[in-house]
Structure 1
């Protein structure tokens, strides 16, 4: 075990699993049964990670990003542990629903979704009216209205600040990822009048590590200010 793994384990978190951590005979039996290459995951570790998150954030609604792993058993496991499932494509929405996740715990959040995806997700919503969609542009709101959607709709905000392990995955400050704070109140008012307004959303970035939380605090502050402004209106 490396120093980093020991540190994670001593801090209460699971160590990164390497090949040596797995039972050799189990892996050999799986390879013999299914052939190789073979993707193996451990539901017990998935459950452990979910429980650690819920223990760390007991008052939060935690949503699992389906794009991390869309196998039905993974989706079922995270949902059994109390997590909702956020989907970045229509295909992920279909996988989540096929896995038995109720529409009330499925959220579709995409960047500039193609027409086919919107058609598919709106069709899924018609059968699962509690499903939530996140719109990151006024144009997406228009396109949803054209398709007859009037259900639960969140507004994705670009708060002007983000974080991530590389500049290409810092989404919070990029104009591609959500509407600006200056435009948000007007679009939110429209959503509130034509849809079931389900709140605001922001994504700081991906691969975030380290102890520097300044950008996160600023993102939360800006989103909190916006939420209070919208509630006051």
Structure 2
């Protein structure tokens, strides 16, 4: 079984894309388009599904993501938004699998079962997850969306980033079989992210921090400006001290 087509509806609230894959001998598909239209995001969603990195579906705005296979079957990820007071504006994500002449089977991506004992200190969560800042003992602010998240919500949203050894969710057999049949690997250029060793956790050696490239460039520019100002001050003082001798 091979992937024949991937598509998305409502990406970022405005884009609908359909990408048929080249199934000929070379099996190479080139995806091109303007920056910001969601090319890499669609590949992340594809990688997220087949490698159980489901947090991508919680953080990326979309309504439906679908993968069609060459045997006529398909899987779709549907995201709906519930703004009722009881659910506290949670997103509901459902996987629907369709096979020829068989009834649709579904799996709801519910909240994870938070383990009682974590495999790492809670205090380093904001060092592991980019954009997360601890605001109290039990709550964190996710800076990109300005949301306040509890520990359960952090684990639920970023389960694939956190170094968890315990399986947090039981999945149906059909879903496990489907993911085992398709092998997906995403190789990102990380042109927008840089590794920041200075902010990596000293308590957990595997925890790394990614810094936006624009932030890295601005920090580097600020450092260069400070360095040149210091150099200018030193040169200016030296010239002031030697001015009488140079005049004579």
What's the TM-score once normalised by structure 2's chain length? 0.27
Q: Which has the higher contact order (CA 8 A, sep 6+)?
A: 2
Identify the structure with the greater helix proportion: 1
What's the TM-score once normalised by structure 1's chain length? 0.28
Name the larger-Rg structure: 2
Identify the structure with the greater strand proportion: 2
